[in-house]
Amino acid sequence: MTTSPAPSAAASAPSDARTRRSVFSAPRRLYRLLALGETITWTLLIFGMVLKYGLQVTELGVRIGGGLHGFVFLAYCVVTVLVGIDGRWGVGRILLGLGSAIVPYLTIPFERWAERRGLLGSTWRLREDQPTGPIESLVAIALRRPVLSSVVALVVVAVVFSVLVSLGPPTQWFA
Distance CA 173, CA 170 (A): 5
* Rounded distance between C-alpha atoms, residue 144 and residue 22, angstroms: 15
**Amino acid at position 70, single letter:** G
Would you say 120 and 31 are in contact if contact means Cβ atoms under 8 Å apart? yes
Average pLDDT, the chain: 85
Task: Give the chain's radius of gyration (CA, Å).
Answer: 20
Contacts of 51 (CB under 8 A, 6+ apart): 57, 58, 59, 60, 61, 62
Q: What is the pLDDT of residue 22?
A: 65
pLDDT for residue 17: 46
What was the pLDDT predicted at 168? 80
pLDDT in the model for residue 166: 86
User: What pLDDT score was predicted for residue 9?
Assistant: 42
Q: Which parts of the chain register pLDDT below 70?
A: 1-23
pLDDT of the residue at 67:
85
Instruction: Tell me the three state secondary structure of residue 101.
Output: coil
> Please, where are the H alpha helices in 50-106?
60-86, 91-100
Question: What pLDDT digit, counting tens, does each position of 5-39 carry?
Answer: 444 444 444 444 444 456 577 899 999 999 999 99
pLDDT at residue number 25: 79
Length of the chain in terms of residues written:
175
**Dist. CA 38–CA 70, nearest whole Å:** 9
